[in-house]
Amino acid sequence: MSHVLEAFVHQELRKQITWSHTQPALYYYRTAANREVDFVLQRRNGQLVGIEVKAAVKLTTDHVKGLADLAATAGKRFRQASCCIRLDGGTIRRSAVGRAVAAMFAIGRSG
């Protein structure tokens, strides 16, 4: 199910970018240690937004290791991280997992 959700988010991001005033570039991030982030938006000024998509009911620290790595690597260029999670029954459960995750079902704050 996770691949279907990732594909949906990818298509939505591509559509949103076409009309966005910031026109970010869309990337994928993976390290030699296989930590990855599904989507990385890079603004023209170099700022980065990481987006991780998971099909899970509960968010754990393992789900956001790639986001934490991206944040550490990018330093001040890293602006926001978000984690999209498919939740059974439509219930939104908020779960803060360190600095890396700011919101669920969000693409990031502007500014």
| Rounded mean pLDDT for each run of 10 residues along the chain, 111 residues in total | 80 89 92 92 91 74 84 87 57 44 37 41
Alpha-helical segments (H) within 28-80: 65-74
Q: Where are the domains of the chain?
A: 2-104
CB atoms inside a 10 Å sphere around CB 57:
12
Q: Which CATH number fits domain 2-104: 2.60.220, 3.40.50, 3.40.1350, 3.30.70?
A: 3.40.1350
Q: How far apart are the C-alpha atoms of 89 and 66, rounded to whole Å?
A: 27
100 alpha-carbon distance from chain centroid: 10
User: What is the model's pLDDT at position 36?
Assistant: 92
Q: List the beta bridge partners of residue 99.
A: none
User: What is the model's pLDDT at position 6?
Assistant: 84
User: What is the model's pLDDT at position 1?
Assistant: 60
